[in-house]
């Protein structure tokens, strides 16, 4: 199984987990902070972030590839950190949204990611972006870290909240 095929299997699995959580409604409580961090979220904040970030990171991959195609030298700056105002605003704006509606945005983001990345020519996977804290990353690494693993981490948070 290629890395891309493995990512697709994991995306389908995390989507099923998120569908189960959306059907169950919002559990009470706060998440544990990220390793080395202090942010603790309610389930609504987790859902708001889930609905926003797959689209953001897919857009970042598209941007890197577009700028590479136009001849911009690599590595091409991309990304954001946890303190990004757009990230914070999206979480605050949508934290009281209906989990089913937010799930729709998540699943649409997953579908768009799969469709877009499945259509990439082989040479596109070699593009190099430069993240402000993680350094040089290729599209497969961005997909893994910022979409697939990130979805799984937030599904884990919902698991933790559901378990009480």
Where in the sequence is the domain holding 99, given as residue range(s)? 3-163
The alpha carbons of the chain give a radius of gyration, in whole angstroms, of 16
11-38 core/surface letters (b: 16 or more CB in 10 A; e: else): beebbebbeebbeeebbeeebeeeeeee
Residue keyed to tokens 């961005």 = 142
The pTM score is 0.93
- What string of pLDDT tens digits covers the 164 residues of the chain? 667 778 889 999 999 999 999 999 999 999 998 878 888 999 999 999 999 999 999 999 999 999 999 999 999 999 999 999 999 999 999 999 999 999 999 999 999 988 988 888 888 999 999 999 999 999 999 999 999 999 999 999 999 999 98
Peptide bond into 75 cis (omega under 30): yes
Residue 47 sits in a domain of what CATH number?
A: 1.20.120.450
**Structural domain total, the chain:** 1
Return the DSSP state at 34: P
Sheet holding 135-137, edge to edge: 76-77, 129-131, 135-137
């Amino acid at each position: 199984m290629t890395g891309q095929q493995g990512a697709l299997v994991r995306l389908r699995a995390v989507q099923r987990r998120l569908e189960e959580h959306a059907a169950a409604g919002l559990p009470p409580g706060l998440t544990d902070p990220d390793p080395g961090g202090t942010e603790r979220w309610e389930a609504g904040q987790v859902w708001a972030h889930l609905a926003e970030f797959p689209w953001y990171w897919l857009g970042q991959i598209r941007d890197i590839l577009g700028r590479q195609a136009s001849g911009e030298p690599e590595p091409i700056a991309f990304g954001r950190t946890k303190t990004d105002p757009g990230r914070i605003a999206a979480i605050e704006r949508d934290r009281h949204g209906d989990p089913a509606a937010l799930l729709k945005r998540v699943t649409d983001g997953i579908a768009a990611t799969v469709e877009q990345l499945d259509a990439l020519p082989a040479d596109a996977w070699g593009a190099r972006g430069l993240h402000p804290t993680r350094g040089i990353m290729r599209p497969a690494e961005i997909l893994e870290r910022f979409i697939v693993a990130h979805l799984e981490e937030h599904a884990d948070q919902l698991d933790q909240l559901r378990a009480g």
